Amino acid sequence: MVTYDANKRWNFGVVWVYGSGNRGTLPNGFFLYEGSLSNDYGLRNSYQFIPYHRMDVNITYTPDRTKKLERRRLALIERQKERGLDTNNIVVTKKWKKNYQNSFTLSVFNVYNRYNPYFIYVTREGDFASGTLKVGAKQVSLFPILPSLTWNFKF
């Protein structure tokens, strides 16, 4: 995992996760019994899935709150001047917002869209006795590339 604070407003992060493939039990063969096909499984956990890996990235933008408060103070002084009022003792009312902070995070899960296996199963289509059987294997993966936008705030 790497994070980098470019400045007070911008933060970057990268996570790379790697794990050797899980182990599972898959049928190695099949057989005909009572007119239908059944699986013949190999040794328990004799099959190793492909390795699991993915990369997640995120960019966080934190607006500069002091600049915003300063802009508000200047705007208030301007209004006071227009009304002909004293501008020496201007105080920007903070109220509940005095501790308010927020940031925006754009993150992308599994940025290179790797299809990590969740489970694998074998398929049989057609009829064995008539010579039309086709076998195959399918892999089901859970999460492809997933972008997300987050608004964080605290007060």
Partner 1 sequence: MKRFIYILSLLFMSSCRKDVQLKLPDYTEKIVIEGSIETGSAAVVLLSYSVPYFGDFDFSAPQTAFIHGALVTVTDGTRIDTLKEADPSVGYLYLGEKLLGEENKIYTINVTVNGKTFNTSTAILHPPTLDTAYFQQDHDSLGFINQHFSEPAGSGDCYRWFAKRLGRDRIYVAPFNSVFDDKFIDGKSFEFAYDRGRLPNPNGAPDPERGYYKLGDTVVVKFCRIGRNEYDFWNTYYQNKSSNGNPFSAPSNIKSMFSDYKNAFGAFVGYAARFDTIIMR
CB nearer to partner 1: give 85 or 142. 142
CB nearer to partner 1: give 14 or 142. 142
Site stretch for partner 1 (CB under 8 A), options 1-9, 51-59, 98-106, 129-137: 129-137
CB nearer to partner 1: give 27 or 103. 27
> Which of 2, 131, 149, 155 lies at the binding interface for partner 1 (CB under 8 A)?
131
> Which of 3, 20, 39, 101 lies at the binding interface for partner 1 (CB under 8 A)?
39
Residues contacting partner 1: total by CB under 8 A: 49
Site membership for partner 1, residue 29 (CB under 8 A): yes
Site membership for partner 1, residue 140 (CB under 8 A): yes
- Maximum Cα interatomic distance, the chain, rounded to a whole number of Å: 100
